[in-house]
Amino acid sequence: MEHKDNFEEQELITLAQLYTNIEFLGCRYPQETMKKIAKLAETVSAKYKESRKNKLKRTFVQASDAAEQKAKRSFK
């Protein structure tokens, strides 16, 4: 764990939750909080992104596009 010696456990949990909310859910927080999380996440983000580099990535499509493609296949 990257910052376990720098923070109390409860604060580290809170910071980790903020990081995941920002990174995966697109949440926004006050500028000071965003800067703090960005600074703390530099090494964590780099390690995570490097580990995901060669993994499969999900591609999201609109439902209308998927339905259109399905309809095109069914007429062949």
Domain ranges for the chain: 9-74
Confidence of residue 11 (pLDDT cuts 50, 70, 90): very high
Q: What is the spatial distance between Cα 76 and Cα 50, in angstroms, rounded to a whole number?
A: 42
Confidence of residue 31 (pLDDT cuts 50, 70, 90): very high
Q: What's the distance, CA 10 to chain centroid? A: 21
Residue 55 has pLDDT above 80, yes or no: no
- pLDDT (average), residues 51-67: 77
Residue 17 has pLDDT above 90, yes or no: yes
Helix (H/G/I), strand (E/B), else coil: 57: coil
Q: What is the spatial distance between Cα 59 and Cα 45, in angstroms, rounded to a whole number?
A: 21
| Tokens coding 39 | 């600074």
Query: What's the pTM?
Result: 0.56
State the pLDDT at residue 56: 72
